[in-house]
Amino acid sequence: MLLSLRIENVAVIKCADIDFSRGFTAMTGETGAGKSVILDGISLLLGAKADRELIRHGEPQASVSGLFTELSEDILNTLSECGIFADEDGAIHILRTVAADGRSAVRINGRAVSLSVLRSVTRSLVGIHGQSDTGALLDPQHHLELVDTYAKNEELLSKYRELYGELEAVRSEIEGISRKEAERERLKEILAYQISDIDALSLRDGEEEELIDRKIKIKNSEKITKNCEFVHKALRGGEKVSVYSLLSRSISALNQLCGVIPELEGRTEELTDMMYRIDDIAEVVKDQLDSLERDPEAQLNDIEARLDKISRLKRKYGLTVKDVLDFRDRAKAELDSLENSEELLARLTEREEELYQRALTLAETLHGVRVGSARELEARVKQTLEFLDMPKVVFYASITEQYAGERKLLNRNGCDSLEFFISANRGAEAQSISKIASGGELARIMLALKSVIADRDGITTMIFDEIDAGVSGKTARKIGIKMRELSKNAQVFCVTHSAQIASLSDTHLLISKSDVNGATETSVRPLDYEGRVTELSRILGGINVTASQREAAIDMLADNDSLLGAV
């Protein structure tokens, strides 16, 4: 339930604070007074697209805030997932701001949330029903949604759509394979050539770096030979003048002194360790000499040729040798897939049939539930329409299962095609709503449907925008009575130009505009009894309000209790 609303700098509204109560609230005012701006503000609060043109001229931003209570468990769970909890009174405060640069911000109980979270929360809080909803009645797809809402098919439909999503994914794979079938042979030839082209070189990851190292070594072979020979000769090559031989002789001499000079004990081990380390270094240098190419020019040519071949493959298949090898693996996997496509297609076709049968079972369950619920919905809507001055009305939902050949055709909603048919006059054949319903009839049908599903969709606040379009007099009065009935179980607002409807409200808000400091401002204020008489008289009257019009307004207000008691 919406307890209060604050609108700042939205179109002609500078600042409006509105407190709401339970029951039925009517909002009236002159054409252009700003009634639609109130609805625009509420729509922003519910997550509608922010239009910068709504910001009051000269202001940096617009804001709308609302206080909501009596929240459902689903809403509380959605909020708790975002770390948001209702206050001690079970209420939440929603604030939305729209800046002149187009930026929009949303806070719930002071915590920033995304628009998607806002919409998921408010979807079950407030329902706005206006001309666009009436127009939606012309779309049969909307008819199916209304029956599903009445039937409370949300859980069943969710399970079905999950299965149907899997079915569509498998069908997409089958379509992809089938589409490739026509060019399968050409693709196989291309892939086989690419794999053969890469395999012919017997590449190894890291090989290119090794070849470059060898190339550098060969180009520096003269320097390597000269220095390695010197180091090897100095360390180990000479029998008497090498470091190794001098260390060997020193160790022998120390061994003879150890018995005479105790301080020298242990030093022979150090020298021996040095001698072995010198020997290891000499061996490494000798290995480098031995590894030098015997024919460096020929080896260099071979390396250059190999590097050229690797570069050619890199230009075709990747930036590095690893990229080339990865490309080869992917090509092999795709080739295997093409060569095994018949087997894969058979498996996918089997999977498709399995998913189709499972989805079909749920679709047929949905069909059965819809048929039963549609019959109930028809009876209740017909009864409501008869009350709303359509006494000879015929109303029913035509439900047919769709077929493709002998198989039932599935879509994301099941296998059903559903459309409402109506005849407003005795003897006239019932036809699709889109073909015969007038504006006034559409408004009444929409009200009847909304009143029937009001206890099924979980929405606690309903707003009707000019539901009286195309009707007047007694019919308008009955529309008001129906909305008053709805308000027993939900908070109901109605923007109206009808005195017959407005007079039935529990609360009457007057929306008016005036010039303040050279700018137009809209204000909203609740009317007392005298204020209601004056406003109803204005709606009933012309340019000048007469005494008879005031009497009619007073009679309407006095007549409310007797009218409601008779319903």
The DSSP code sequence of 418-441 is EEEEEE-STTPPPEEHHHH--HHH
DSSP structure class, residue 260: T
DSSP structure class, residue 239: T
Residue 184 sits at the vertex; the CA angle it makes with 181 and 186, to the nearest 5 degrees, is 145
pLDDT at 542: 67
Alpha-carbon span 391 to 228, nearest angstrom: 114
DSSP-assigned beta bridge partners for residue 533: none
pLDDT at 170: 95
Strands 403-404 and 507-516: unpaired
Domains of the chain by start residue, with CATH: 2-135+460-526 (3.40.50.300), 138-173+340-436 (no CATH), 189-339 (no CATH)
Q: Are 523 and 512 in contact (CB under 8 A)?
A: yes
DSSP structure class, residue 110: T
The pTM score is 0.66
Alpha-carbon span 449 to 95, nearest angstrom: 32
Which helix (H) or strand (E) segment holds residue 408: the answer is: strand 407-408
Q: Under DSSP, is residue 108 helix (H, G, I), strand (E, B) or coil?
A: strand
Cα→Cα distances 53→98, 101, 520, Å:
10, 11, 16
pLDDT at 566: 47
Alpha-carbon span 481 to 493, nearest angstrom: 13
Burial of residue 509 (CB within 10 Å: 0-12, 13-18, 19+) is: buried
Q: Under DSSP, is residue 32 helix (H, G, I), strand (E, B) or coil?
A: coil
Other C-beta atoms within 10 Å of 502: how many?
Answer: 30
Q: Which residues of the chain fall short of a pLDDT of 50? A: 566-567
Q: Which amino acid is at 509?
A: L
Q: Are 463 and 36 in contact (CB under 8 A)?
A: no
Residue 71 sits at the vertex; the CA angle it makes with 457 and 129, to the nearest 5 degrees, is 40
Token representation of residue 83: 């770390």
Instruction: Please list, residue by residue across 152-173, b when 16 or more beta carbons sit within 10 angstroms of its beta carbon and e when fewer do.
Output: ebeebbeebbebbebbbebbee
Alpha-carbon span 554 to 550, nearest angstrom: 6
Report H helices in 438-486. 439-453, 473-486
pLDDT at 106: 92
Alpha-carbon span 243 to 278, nearest angstrom: 8
Alpha-carbon span 94 to 65, nearest angstrom: 5
> Whose structure tokens read 């006095």?
558
User: Quick one: which of 121, 144, 4, 18 has its CA closest to 74?
Assistant: 121
CA 539 to chain centre: 45
Reported residue count of the chain is 567
